[in-house]
Structure 1
Amino acid sequence: MWSDNETIRDLVNFSQVADIAAERIVGARGEPLSMGISGDWGVGKSSMMKLLRNSLEERDEIDVRFVEFNAWLYQNYDDARAALMEAITAAVVEQAIEKKDTLAKPVLDKAKGLLKRVKKLRLLGLAGSAAVDYFTMGTMTPLVAGGMAALSGLTDGSVTGEDVKGAKDFVAEGISGGRSLIEEEKDGEGTEPVEETPRKAIQAFRDDLEATLEELGITLVVLIDDLDRCLPKTAIATLEAMRLFLFLKHTAFVIAADEGMIRQAVRSHFDGAELDDDLVTNYFDKLIQLPIRVPPLGTQEVRAYLMMLFVENEADLDDNKKEEMRDAVCKRLGRSWEGKRVDKAFMLEQIGECPSGLLNRLALAERIAPILTTSPKIQGNPRLIKRFLNTLSMRMSMARIQEVNVDEEVLVKLLLFERCGDKEAYAEVLRAVNEAEDGHPTLLADKERRVRGDGDVPRLEKPWNDPFHSNWLALDPPLANRDLRGALYVSRETHPIISRADELSSDAKSVLDMLLKMTSASTTVNDEVANLSTQEIAHVTDAVLLKARQETSWGTPNILNAMQALASASSASASLVVAFFAEVPTSQVKASLVPRLANTEWGKQILTSLNARDDIKGSAQKAIQTAMKGKA
């Protein structure tokens, strides 16, 4: 299994992008910097953040301290703005305490005073949101658990004395705490508190923080991740909190987020306002000075990524060898613009003596990399590729534990179709496998021959003619002549195994078995069919017609006997048989079929339909025309 978490194990040469970002932070020389790492979900933004941190830690040009902040963890539990302020301040104070022996006492006191300023801002913010918002019927910002519990009793429809007392105590505590903090800051004579507006309080906090960072001689790098997982309110609150710290010297903010999700959060925040795309984009651009987009993976990178994932999971290779190969692959990818390739041949050069299991997986990676890159459902997304491989691993484990004989390459091909293909087409393949006695999806035969250029077969129709399905059909191994029952059995967590036979009563199942074994007309079978209910005949007809679709030459195959018995017993079944022959390719119609159809009303309908085809030729055309004249 492969971990789905972020990592500093760079498998696709992302480190070069992280190094460029680290150079920008170092090159800022203490000037404020804000950087955005953008990309879709799962492309590696969090890993890029870790690689950036790793790159900065290896440099000695500047003294860096990190604050990692995940707004998603605070959602619905705390005010993200206050939580970010506390996280940043705590990191600065911790650094000051570490250097207390070398710092002047005023500097240390100023650093410790930052915590008091944050507490004051938090208390003022809570008083405003709890008291003002509640009594004005406004929207309350997230409160600490105790405060929310105290106020919730006033709005749940059953106000008690305890509820009122709890609310009063909560507000009083906030006012008292705020007053005590303010009273700590007396003027020189200690008689009157210093009057400080919220604006002044915020500016004082910024000034003290900047001065402390200067005295400490550090650059504070704040890494904000998972912002695009947050609800719009939390995402915007975090971005707004950033504004308190932005453009302070000795700070660098790095935000990892999907730009599309942030734009949606901005639109939600300004709900009802007329915002064009430029205005929404400008909101984010004003916060981000340096945008960096995680590079999408092309076929070359996806192939290398797959191969390295298989290498990382190979028990017969030691860690040193894996690290050597990872380094070689990243260097090779850095020269891909010269036409250098990471393929099976290159990997075997690096490995030397390759374990047989790994050799097969490297070959598999070469085959599936193009389709994992171009499929609209995966598009080379590293997280989706890992989940694909983890699902494959689970199914192979299930096959081993339950002693089901499954070819891994067949399982890979089916999993690709399940994840990326048309749902109705996939369901059609499942039905064909479930209904076939040998588990062969013969409906794929002509389609697979078509994409391989074998013989004169009909053109593919939707959805089979789009790029994904065409590439999937061409992918080895062909499946039309494979027994897929075992592969579908270990895949049943997403699709239950249901055949038409499962819907039949024991009597109907017995009749179906007799119909499928018929080699000629039988009055005994006809009588058994007549004893079935209308619904049972319909189910049996569906099963027979599914079997009939496996025929490729329509003279007098045995399945025609079953179709005649059903059509004679039920007008509904007769209509289905007529509709079935309307879809039989002209090239499969033989002259010997005509006499079998000419003696029944439903058969004459089929002949009329066939006679109207422009491409009916030869002996079949003559036989049909002769039968039509006899009918006249």
Structure 2
Amino acid sequence: MTKNTTTERGQYPLFLDEPTDVDLLSFDAVASTVVEAVLDPRLDPIALGLSGSWGSGKTSVLRLIARQLRESTGEVGTCLVIETDPWRYDPQLGIKESLIGEILTAIEAALPADGVGEKSKALLKRLMKRVDWTKAMKLAATSAITVSLPSVDKVLDLVKPKSEVEGEDQPEPITDMVQFRAEFAALLESDGLAEIENVVVLVDDLDRCLPETVVETLETIRLFLSVPKMSFVIAADEERVAEAIATRFSDSGEIGEESPARLYLHKIVQTSVPVPALSDFDTEAYLVLLQIRSLVSSDADYDTIVAEVAEARHAAVMIETVKSLQRTEFVEHRNNAARIRPIIHEKTRGNPRRIKRFLNDLSVRLSIAAKRGISLDEATIAKLMVLEQYFPQEFKTVTDWLRERTLRSNLEALEVQAGTPESTETTSHDTTEVDSESAGEAEPDDTEKSPKKAAKADTPSAKPQFSEGLIRWARLSPALANKDIAPYLVFAASFKSVFLESDALPESIRDMATQLLSRSTSEARRVSDDMLRNLEPSNANRLVTYIGGVIVDEPQRQTGGVIAMLRISRVQPGAVKSVVNALKRIKPSDLKVAAFTTLQATDAPEIMAQFDAMATASGKGELTGAMAAVKEDV
């Protein structure tokens, strides 16, 4: 497997959920601690636990241990490393037999080809035949329910040793497992294995196994294989293993370290080396190193970056000081990692697999969003992903704002209250509303006031109330109130089967609103002036208010929305005030020239005054020019 575990195709790579040979997390310290223990002759034989939750990196540490042990060959003698995974054993062939057979097969491969190992080979064959005999018996027992088998004697004949040399007797297989341990010890001390000083068995994924497999594996280690020269490293979540053991032992009522399951486990596994959860630094480093992998073409170059990050970790300095991460193409990934790291670290509890899963989900969102024409930057989508993944109730709140057409105003109020980086700066020089006096109109009703104004009110009761989770999320940069995030929210909600169609309108005019806001001009024209004229005045005002909310929350629909409101105002004079109030919610800087397309000098004076005030407040020559052209009826 290559070191680059990301997909090389596409702008948004996925990361395989597989152990890696590249130590991105400085687990080498954990691995070397285990290696020192299993090679210490004073601790022979030993069984060590490598404890950590699922996804914590136990398998990656086992790989580092295997590599360090193999590299130690020649320094402290020959070390035979055997890697096994009981999760993949066939229960019909026996758990004990599968583990023992795997170890004996590896030992057989290590025996010398010359005559020195003949005695060792004879012992090995005797042990292997015992394993074959037991497997045959188990298979016969489990298969006899459904198939007709020969007699037990004939089954045993299948596995009895046969001489390869005519006239030479072979030893009978061991039929009593009590004999096995003694002969296994003799095998390891035989001349053929004199050069091997350590046999280290690395057991992975034990915590994934069924309780029966867990107990049988541990019993095999303790009863049959725990002899001099043998060492075991068992990678598993100790809590899950203890739970599996508990299914085989009566519960005395004790808990924790004194429970029967714990005592049983500690009798077999002398001590456990924990795989530590990632620190803040580790989490940020992992986020950066994973994301930049697809940008680094050379394995050697990537290894250099990883080594420099490890040096920074050991020196307890910030990741920003790592020289190799200063490349321009890495800046965005570094900034994104720094932004989301505090929440990612807390919500994943420093678990590498969960962090990788978040990045994979982010890559999927970025890829699909780009193909759907959602032009949001990666930092914005990453922030929205944090909300979606780790604040589900708050995500629902924000999508409810979109449904109710109060998204932009609520985001502004939230960011003001949270003190979001960039929010104060972006709103201070860009007034959301033009004062009503400048438009020649009275203040809108209380229901029309924006939450931004409410947030500035002196009385606490006037302040919008946001959850602590929302405020915490809002403090992440970038600020979102000025971004068109509605298309992404609709897209993200679809992953959770959340329907965001607004229920703010009566059914009688809901279809009309959809048609008026359509990107197709012909579809919008299907709503005739007569249909608008025949609306009840209250429904006309509701329709305008709704359209006004849409074009604020989804600026890409502004032109069609303004055209629709102007059409309504011309046939429903009572809706003029609602149109003016809707226009006030548009920031002057967000106003588009296209919104002036159908504006006429004969339109209501209040509407003309509002457009004029907004064009002037924007400071944009193209808007003031468009307004002048309308006044001249050009």
TM-score under structure 1 normalisation?
A: 0.67
Answer yes or no: is the 8 Å Cα contact 1:511–1:525 preserved in 2.
Answer: no
Residue equivalent to 1:350: 324
Q: Matched residue of 2:479: which SS?
A: coil
- Corresponding residue number in structure 1 for 2:105: 90
- Of residues 249, 255, 261 in structure 1, which corresponds to 2:240? 261
2:77 corresponds to 1:62 = yes
Q: Which amino acid aligns with 1:229?
A: R
Letter in 2 for 1:318: S
Summarize deviations over 1:47-87 as a string: whole Å, max 9, x none: 00001111112113221112111111125554222110110
Letter in 2 for 1:350: S
Where 1:312 maps in the other structure, the secondary structure is: helix
Do residues 33 (structure 1) and 46 (structure 2) align? Answer: yes
Question: Does 2:414 correspond to 1:447?
Answer: yes
The answer on whether the counterparts of 1:71 and 1:225 sit within 8 Å (CA) in structure 2 is: yes
How does 1:318-329 map onto structure 2 within 5 Å? 318-329=298-309
Deviation at 1:514, TM superposition (A): 12
- Does the CA-based 8 Å contact 2:94-2:138 persist in structure 1? no
Deviations 1:300-350 (A, max 9, x none): 1111111222232214x53332211111111221222xxx2222xx13x22
* Aligned AA (1:429): V
Counterpart position of 1:247: 226
| CA shift in 2, pair 1:505/1:112, >3 Å | farther
Aligned partner letter, 2:77: I
Worse-superposed segment, 500-509 or 234-243: 500-509
Q: Distance in 1 between matches of 2:407 and 2:538?
A: 29
CA shift, 1:294, in A, is: 0.6
> How far has the Cα of 1:197 moved from its partner?
6.5
Q: What SS does the aligned partner of 1:286 have?
A: helix
1:465 matched to 2:434? The reply is no
Conserved 8 A contact 1:299-1:370: yes
How many residue pairs match? The answer is 481
Report the CA distance shift for 1:395/1:513 in structure 2 as closer, same or farther (over 3 A).
Answer: closer
Whole-Å Cα distance in 1 between the matches of residues 477 and 203 of structure 2? 44
2:120 counterpart of 1:107 = yes
Identity across matched positions, percent: 26
The answer on whether the counterparts of 2:206 and 2:236 sit within 8 Å (CA) in structure 1 is yes
Cα 1:172/1:484, change in 2 over 3 Å? farther
CA contact (8 A) 1:42 1:384 kept: yes
- Cα distance between partner residues in 1 of 2:123 and 2:172: 17
Deviation at 1:28, TM superposition (A): 2.8
Report the counterpart of residue 406 of structure 1 in structure 2. 376
CA contact (8 A) 1:44 1:294 kept: yes
2:21 aligned with 1:8: yes
User: Any conservation in 2 of the 1:35–1:292 contact (CA below 8 Å)?
Assistant: yes
Residues 513/57 of structure 1: CA separation in 2 closer, same or farther (3 Å cut) = closer
With over 3 angstroms needed to count, the CA separation of the structure-2 counterparts of 1:406 and 1:175, relative to structure 1, is: same
- Distance (whole Å) between structure 1 residues aligned to residue 223 and residue 498 of structure 2: 58
Q: Which runs of 5+ in 2 are unaligned?
A: 1-13, 164-168, 425-454, 518-526, 554-564, 566-634
The equivalent of 2:399 in structure 1 is 430
CA shift in 2, pair 1:481/1:246, >3 Å: same
Tell me how far 1:110 sits from its aligned partner: 1.9
Match of 2:271 among 270, 278, 290: 290
* CA contact 1:30–1:249 (8 Å) conserved in 2: no
Taking the aligned partners of 2:251 and 2:359, their CA distance within structure 1 comes to 44
| Deviations 1:123-155 (CA, angstroms, capped at 9, x unpaired) | 45556xx2xxxxxxxxxxxx4xxx2xx41x3xx
Mapping of residues 132-531 of structure 1, within 5 Å: 143=142, 147=143, 150-151=144-145, 153=146, 163=147, 166=148, 168-169=149-150, 171=152, 173-177=154-158, 180=160, 198-212=176-190, 214-270=193-249, 274=253, 276-277=255-256, 278-279=258-259, 280-315=261-296, 318-336=298-316, 340-343=317-320, 346-347=321-322, 349-351=323-325, 354-355=327-328, 357-375=329-347, 378-421=348-391, 423-436=392-405, 440-452=407-419, 456=456, 464-466=467-469, 469-491=470-492, 494-496=495-497, 498-501=499-502, 507-510=508-511, 525-526=535-536
Contact 1:410 1:487 in 2 (8 A): no
Contact 2:21 2:64 in 1 (8 A): yes
1:568 corresponds to = none
Q: Which residue identity is paired with 2:285?
A: A
CA distance in 1 between counterparts of 2:205 and 2:173 reads 39
SS in 1 for 2:26: coil
Q: Secondary structure at the match of 1:115?
A: helix
How far 1:361 sits from its partner (Å)? 1.0
Q: What is the DSSP-based 3-state SS (H/G/I as helix, E as strand, rest coil) of the residue aligned with 1:403? A: coil
Q: Distance in 2 between matches of 1:294 and 1:28?
A: 24
Partner Cα distance (1:115, 1:463) in 2 = 69
Inter-partner Cα distance in structure 2 for 1:26 and 1:240: 23
Distance 1:461 1:123 in 2: 73
Q: Distance in 2 between matches of 1:509 and 1:103?
A: 90
Matched, 1:73 2:74: no
Write the letter of the residue equivalent to 1:476.
Answer: S
Task: After TM superposition, give the deviation of residue 171 of structure 1 in Å.
Answer: 4.4
Answer yes or no: is the 8 Å Cα contact 2:35–2:65 preserved in 1: yes
Bigger CA drift: 317-326 or 382-391? Answer: 317-326
Change (3 A) 1:512 1:108: closer
3-state secondary structure, aligned to 1:427 = helix
Alignment partners' CA distance in 2, 1:224 and 1:425: 42
Contact 1:440 1:481 in 2 (8 A): no
User: Which residue in 1 is equivalent to 2:129?
Assistant: 116
CA distance in 1, matches of 2:272, 2:511: 69
Quote the Cα distance in structure 1 between the aligned partners of 2:244 and 2:363.
Answer: 37
Shift of 1:250: 1.0
Given the superposition, is the C-alpha separation of residues 461 and 34 from structure 1 closer, same or farther in structure 2, using an over 3 Å criterion?
farther
Give the letter for the 2:418 counterpart.
Answer: V
CA apart distance, 1:262: 0.7
Cα deviation, residue 486, structure 1:
2.9
Root mean square deviation, CA, Å? 4.0
**Whole-angstrom distance in 2 between the partners of 1:49 and 1:250:** 19
8 Å Cα contact 1:514/1:525 also seen in 2: no
Any conservation in 2 of the 1:440–1:479 contact (CA below 8 Å)? no
* Contact 1:398–1:490 (CA under 8 A) maintained in structure 2: no
Tell me how far apart the structure 1 counterparts of residues 243 and 400 of structure 2 sit (CA, whole Å).
Answer: 41
Aligned residue in 2 for 1:589: none
Whole-Å separation in 2 of the counterparts to 1:120 and 1:256: 30
- Provide the C-alpha distance between the structure 2 equivalents of 1:269 and 1:499, rounded to a whole number of angstroms: 51
1:9 and 1:45 map into 2 onto residues whose CA distance is 14
SS in 2 for 1:4: coil
Shift, 1:477, TM fit: 1.4
**Matched residue SS, 2:194:** helix
